[in-house]
Amino acid sequence: MRLLAAAAAVFAFPVVVLVAYGASVLVASESLGALWWAVFLVPAALYGAVVARAWALALPLAWAAAILGVLRLADLISGACSVCGPEDDWSSVTVTYLFFAVLPLTFAVAAGVLVGITWRDRRDRPTPSASASAGSA
């Protein structure tokens, strides 16, 4: 059952990121403003708090590598350039993606994981009254 829950958590991450990105585009009027970043990163932090596992820190990089790898392979096969634009090509998109998506998401997930682990440890810690009554019984 734990393996199934972990697999669900791994595949839920890109869904959380896509929904957060869509919400940030709809809510924030200026791209890359403070509100945009907050709407984009808070769901990732909440995801980290819910998962509360250290392996979640690798998900932003792993998913970025998988997505960019599939795009690159498709481009090599088709001869097209799916990321090319007036200012972007394959030489710059990976660095841009790293600094504007992977690193912020990793920090947000790390903050959430820290909160989640701290909350879980405090919740599972026996209270002094419970341990005192257990010792006297």
> pLDDT digits over 84-117, tens only?
877 778 888 888 889 989 999 999 999 999 999 9
The answer to the question of residue 135 being in a domain is no
- Is 126 within a domain? no
Whole-number pLDDT of residue 89: 80
Determine contact, residues 64/98, Cβ cutoff 8 Å. Answer: yes
- SS3 label, residue 68: helix
Report the pLDDT value the prediction gives residue 133, as an integer from 0 to 100: 57
The verdict on residue 38 lying in a domain is: yes
pLDDT at 129: 66
Average pLDDT score over the chain: 87
Q: Considering Cα of 64, then 65, then 66, then 72, what sign does the dihedral take?
A: positive
137 inside domain: no
Task: Please give the model's pTM, rounded to 2 decimal places.
Answer: 0.81
- Domain of residue 45: give its range: 2-121
Does residue 131 form part of some domain? no
Can you give the pLDDT at residue 136?
54
Which stretches of the chain score pLDDT less than 70? 1, 29, 129-137
User: Is 95 a member of any domain?
Assistant: yes
Domain count of the chain? 1
The C-alpha atoms of residue 34 and residue 132 are separated, in whole angstroms, by: 49
130 assigned to some structural domain: no
Q: Is residue 94 part of a domain?
A: yes
Phi-psi region of 79 (alpha: psi -120 to 50; beta: other; left: phi over 0): left
